Amino acid sequence: MKWVGSKQGVLSAILARMAPPTGRYFEPMVGSGVVFLGLAPERAVLGDANAELVDCYRVIRDDVEALVRALDRHVNTREHFLAVRAQRPEDLPPVERAARFIFLNKTCFNGLYRVNAAGAFNVPYGGIAHANFRDAATLRRVSARLEGVSLRCADVAECVRDAGPGDLVYLDPPYFAAPRAEVRYRAQGFGVEGHERLAALFDDLDRRGCRVVLSNADAPEVRALYRGRVVEVLATRRPVNRDARARDGWRELLIRNYDDPPRSSPPAAPLAVATPSASAAQALDALVERFVEDLRGLAAELARQSIAKVAQTRRDDS
């Protein structure tokens, strides 16, 4: 799925800094789940505060064939999109609700999940001719990866309540935003206090013996919250933004409570991006996007290494 704050653009850099844990993998703000899918841990607990998202994962895990059939009944037209958007998800049985969620995600504008004050999905139609909402092969692969996974619709702290020694926890909150934009994020319960609470949870998980990894925007306030931790900058393209220019030059932080050197290959083969049912244009888009992201990642890594080298030379000289 497309998801605001998706880690697709920095996935290889994140996976290179994680190893499948000896214990369980916790991802309590799982969103589109790309990190979980890339890591492919044997035992996992996934969660999110978004109930529709978690319910959708439950259906993918437990009833994927019914979901594939339900998605087959949808068509990519503006009229159908508006009719489906007008449905109240709570009135639908779980499989239909999950199909509605995936259909709207794939055919709406920019893959945003946004609800109005009354909780109704209100993103306009995207008009993407090749929107691939009937990707049965990928759904089946995701279903297989979700087998045995515990899914929790809960606040982040509640989701990781039983994490302990040997467990790996990946935290990916809504990005910290400067005070003006913060007003928007407050509605999602993630203003400055949310980030302070999360930093306290990071410390708590550290004391409990977990390995903890956290992503966030590169802002002085975030750096201050995690002073003393291993902090790295990942350069990326902000994947969901109305203004294409604002997608470029985005920097985010990867923060850890351990300092293993990056691994050269990711722990698991990622799910295929292009499936036989995806159009050639979509597959090409995905390939180009990945190529550009990889180049950016490489450039950022080279810049980081040369800055470290210069700093070392200065230290040696003085």
Ligand X SMILES: C[S@@+](CC[C@H](N)C(=O)[O-])C[C@H]1O[C@@H](n2cnc3c(N)ncnc32)[C@H](O)[C@@H]1O
Q: Which residues bind ligand X (CB under 6 A)?
A: 3, 5-7, 28-29, 31-32, 34-35, 48-50, 155-156, 172-174, 188-190
- CB closer to ligand X out of 84 and 156: 156
- CB closer to ligand X out of 21 and 28: 28
Min dist. Cβ of residue 305 to ligand X (A)? 26
- CB closer to ligand X out of 53 and 95: 53
Tell me the one-letter amino acid at 71: L
- CB closer to ligand X out of 21 and 194: 194
- CB closer to ligand X out of 29 and 149: 29
Min dist. Cβ of residue 252 to ligand X (A)? 10
Query: For residue 187, how many other CB atoms are within 10 A of its CB?
Result: 11
- CB closer to ligand X out of 52 and 96: 52
Min dist. Cβ of residue 88 to ligand X (A)? 20
- CB closer to ligand X out of 107 and 216: 216
d(CA 70, CA 4): 25
Roughly how many angstroms between the first and final C-alpha of the chain, as a whole number?
52
Min dist. Cβ of residue 196 to ligand X (A)? 13
- The alpha carbon of 150 is separated from its chain's Cα centroid by a whole number of angstroms, namely 17
Q: Which two tokens stand for residue 309?
A: 């080298």
Min dist. Cβ of residue 1 to ligand X (A)? 8
Min dist. Cβ of residue 31 to ligand X (A)? 3
Min dist. Cβ of residue 158 to ligand X (A)? 8
